């Protein structure tokens, strides 16, 4: 049981994630990605006659089970497999965050930003609501999420997925080094 409670190194977890691609292709010609699940849920729950949601979503119901497994797995990991160890954050990163006013962490997330108490502040609203909208819009605009493009698309040698992944990375660097310091001052 201790094996599951410890963080796994990248050289074990990475290849395991990478093996998802050929397994999905071999067992049913399926593609890996999570962002399309929201469309499937909307098509199943909101039959309002919107053309974007008029398709046979039942053929993609396996994807909904996959996402449900992610949610259940996350619940199990948090409530039953918690190793009670501090998250290793690079000391340099920790110091930079403290200089920006981020002092307390709750697991992987800084509690100074991501908590129900902070949601009612301008900073919390910007990070959670506006940030969530921008992630959703970007996913739709890019035609998929980071997992779909970076894991599935690049492994299938799709040129648009390589471009999208490079843009995701560039956007992350720009956000981290140029925009985030200003947002943390809110």
pLDDT of residue 11: 93
- Report the C-alpha gap between 70 and 82 in whole angstroms: 16
HEC string for the chain: CHHHHCCCCHHHHHHHHHHHHHHHHHHHCCCCCCCHHHHHHHHHHCCCCCHHHCCCHHHHHHHHHHHHHHHHHHHHHHHCCCCCCCCCCCHHHHHHHHHCCCCCEECCEECCCCCHHHHCCHHHHHHHHHHHHHHHHHHHHHCCCHHHHHHHHHHCCCHHHHHHHHHHHHHHHHHHHHHHHHHCCC
Please state the pTM of the whole predicted model: 0.73
The whole-angstrom separation of Cα 7 and Cα 29 is 31
Residues whose CB is less than 8 angstroms from the CB of residue 186 and which lie 6 or more positions away in sequence, other chains included: 121, 122, 123, 126
Domain ranges of the chain: 1-85, 89-186
Residues with pLDDT less than 50, the chain:
none
For residues 151 and 30, give the distance between their C-alpha atoms in angstroms, rounded to a whole number: 13
Q: Report the pLDDT value the prediction gives residue 83, as an integer from 0 to 100.
A: 61
End-to-end C-alpha distance for the chain, whole angstroms: 43
Handedness of CA 46, 50, 52, 58 (dihedral sign): positive
Looking at residue 68, what is its pLDDT? 92
Question: 14 — alpha (psi -120 to 50), left (phi > 0) or beta?
Answer: alpha
């Amino acid at each position: 049981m201790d094996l599951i409670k410890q963080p796994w190194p990248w050289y074990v977890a990475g290849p395991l994630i990478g093996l998802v691609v050929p397994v999905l292709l071999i067992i049913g010609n399926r593609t890996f990605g999570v962002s399309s699940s929201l469309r499937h849920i909307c098509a199943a729950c909101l039959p309002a006659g919107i053309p974007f949601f008029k398709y046979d979503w039942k053929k993609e119901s396996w994807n909904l089970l996959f996402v449900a497994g992610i949610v259940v797995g996350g619940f199990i990991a948090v409530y039953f497999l918690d190793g009670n160890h501090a998250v290793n954050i690079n000391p340099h990163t920790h110091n930079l965050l403290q200089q920006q006013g981020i002092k307390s962490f709750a697991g992987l997330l800084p509690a100074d930003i991501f908590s129900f108490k902070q949601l009612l502040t301008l900073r919390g609203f910007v990070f959670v609501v506006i940030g969530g909208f921008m992630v959703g819009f970007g996913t739709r605009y890019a035609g998929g999420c980071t997992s779909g493009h970076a894991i599935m698309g690049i492994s299938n040698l799709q040129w648009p997925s390589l471009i999208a992944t490079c843009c995701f990375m560039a956007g992350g660097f720009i956000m981290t080094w140029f925009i985030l310091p200003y947002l943390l001052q809110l």
